[in-house]
């Protein structure tokens, strides 16, 4: 039998449930709203991180050999700034805080006051103010996510060639080598014109088997950054040598030199780095050829060598 008192108790219980459900819904909607805000902030943070990563990596290209190539801190900062702006970061968000310096791999620290000769890294920080749509309900109008990236530049310091592996006696200019891994790029006879173009005179080192043979089978020699070699004048034989090499073994190490020389005189060149390549195609003829390669991690060849992920043109790594 239902009494008057039990009906009152039930009514009170129903009222309590309604209040609890209402409070729960308010809390649920508050959390949902906050989740939307936090998701937006997180996305903005990821966008910042992608932009600073791209900016630091792009600017680190210039640090491969800053002393030889007239690189200044400002030119590095300008490159990083331009790439950051192209990726949606504003000048205010960068706030003039890009730095050039030295990354110590042993202590994992960045020193922005390092001497120019020791530059090997770029630090790109950014911070963004993100307005919250629902945050003001709990007294929070905005959040300020930040990101920073440090990219280090490095390159293979030496290379060896033997039995078809490793180094081949050809050098290219840094401007022709600045490409990402697995992104094809081309160089042609017409880019440089007649005269000295890349053929390295190292026959006296490998026993004199000849330049074309060295291109095909690999130079039985050891080379390193800073070494000087004479160059072989003219462009004759380049088309045939690269064609043969591409068929025999498309992977190789090429030298990079800031001065390829010109004219018909034996000019000579100093190696400032190396690039690991895969020859993708050789088209045209001996008088008008196009060679397409892409940078890849390859073994430097010779005894005691190891696989390198640091070709001259794209020896760039995000270290922080």
188 and 98 together in one domain: no
**Are residues 173 and 311 both part of a single domain?**
yes
The single-letter DSSP state of residue 314 is G
Count of domains in the chain?
2
At residue 124 the predicted structure's pLDDT band, cuts being 50, 70 and 90, is: very high
Neighbours of 36 (CB within 10 A): 14
**What pLDDT is stored for residue 312 in this prediction?**
45
Does the pLDDT value for residue 225 go beyond 80?
no
Helices assigned H by DSSP within the chain: 4-60, 73-86, 91-94, 174-177, 189-192, 203-206, 211-217, 238-248
In the 8-state DSSP scheme, what is residue 121? E
d(CA 115, CA 124): 19
Residue-by-residue DSSP string for 179-236: --BT--EEEEHHHH-SB--SBEE-HHHHTS--HHHHHHH--SEEEETT-EEEE--S-T
Length of the chain: 320
Is 310 found in the same domain as 197?
A: yes
Dist CA 166 CA 154 (whole Å): 19
Calpha distance 315→121 (Å, rounded): 11
Residues 6+ apart with CB under 8 A from 76: 59, 62, 63, 100, 119, 122
Inside any domain, residue 4: no
Q: What is the predicted pLDDT for the residue at 261? A: 55
Residues 241, 203 share a domain = yes
Residue 35: CB atoms within 10 Å: 11
Q: How confident is the model at residue 29 (pLDDT cuts 50, 70, 90)?
A: low
Mean pLDDT across the chain: 75
Indicate the SS3 state at residue 7: helix
Say what the pTM is: 0.51
In a domain, 84, yes or no: yes
Q: pLDDT class for 311, splitting at 50, 70, 90?
A: very low
Q: What is the pLDDT of residue 24?
A: 60
pLDDT band at 90 (very low <50, low <70, confident <90, very high): very high
Tens-digit pLDDT profile for residues 158-208 = 666 654 457 888 888 776 665 556 778 888 876 655 555 678 877 555 555
Report which DSSP code applies to 139: T
Cα distance between residue 316 and residue 150, in whole Å: 10
Q: Determine the average pLDDT of the residues in 216-238.
A: 77
Domain boundary among 88, 123, 153: 153
- Whole-number percent of the chain with pLDDT over 70: 66
pLDDT greater than 60 at residue 290: yes
Domain that holds residue 205: 158-318
Q: Which phi and psi (to 5°) does residue 8 adopt?
A: -65, -45
Pairwise CA distance, residues 312 & 118, whole Å: 16
Domain presence at residue 28: no
Question: Do residues 168 and 310 both lie within one domain?
Answer: yes
Lowest mean per-residue pLDDT among 2-11, 143-152, 223-232: 2-11
| Residue 306: per-residue pLDDT | 40
How far lies 180's CA from each of 13, 52, 294, in Å?
69, 17, 8
Regarding whether 256 and 218 lie in a shared domain, the answer is yes
């Amino acid at each position: 039998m239902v009494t008057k008192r039990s009906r009152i108790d039930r009514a009170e219980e129903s009222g309590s449930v309604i209040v609890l459900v209402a409070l729960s819904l308010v809390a649920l909607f508050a959390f949902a709203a906050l989740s939307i805000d936090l998701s937006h902030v997180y996305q903005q943070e990821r966008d910042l991180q992608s932009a600073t990563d791209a900016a630091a990596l792009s600017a680190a290209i210039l640090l491969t050999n800053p002393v030889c190539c007239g690189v200044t801190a400002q030119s590095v900062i300008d490159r990083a700034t331009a790439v950051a702006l192209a990726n949606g970061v504003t000048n205010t968000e960068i706030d003039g805080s890009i730095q050039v310096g030295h990354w110590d791999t042993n202590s994992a620290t960045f020193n922005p006051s390092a001497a120019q000769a020791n530059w090997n890294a770029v630090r790109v920080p950014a911070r963004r103010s993100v307005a919250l749509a629902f945050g003001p309900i709990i007294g929070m109008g905005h959040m300020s996510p930040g990101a920073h990236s440090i990219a280090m530049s490095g390159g293979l310091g030496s290379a060896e060639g033997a039995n078809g592996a490793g180094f081949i006696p050809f050098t290219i200019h840094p401007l022709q080598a600045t490409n990402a891994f697995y992104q094809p790029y081309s160089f042609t006879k017409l880019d440089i014109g007649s005269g000295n173009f890349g053929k390295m005179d190292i026959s006296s080192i490998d026993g004199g088997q000849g330049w074309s043979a060295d291109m095909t089978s690999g130079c039985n020699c050891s080379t390193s950054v800073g070494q000087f070699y004479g160059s072989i004048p003219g462009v004759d034989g380049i088309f045939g040598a690269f064609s043969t090499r591409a068929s025999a073994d498309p992977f190789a190490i090429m030298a990079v030199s800031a001065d390829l020389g010109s004219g018909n005189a034996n000019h000579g060149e100093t190696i400032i780095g190396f690039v690991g390549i895969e020859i993708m195609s050789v088209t045209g003829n001996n008088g008008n050829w196009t060679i397409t390669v892409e940078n890849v991690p390859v073994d430097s060849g010779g005894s005691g060598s190891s696989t390198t992920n640091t070709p001259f043109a794209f020896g760039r790594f995000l270290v922080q």
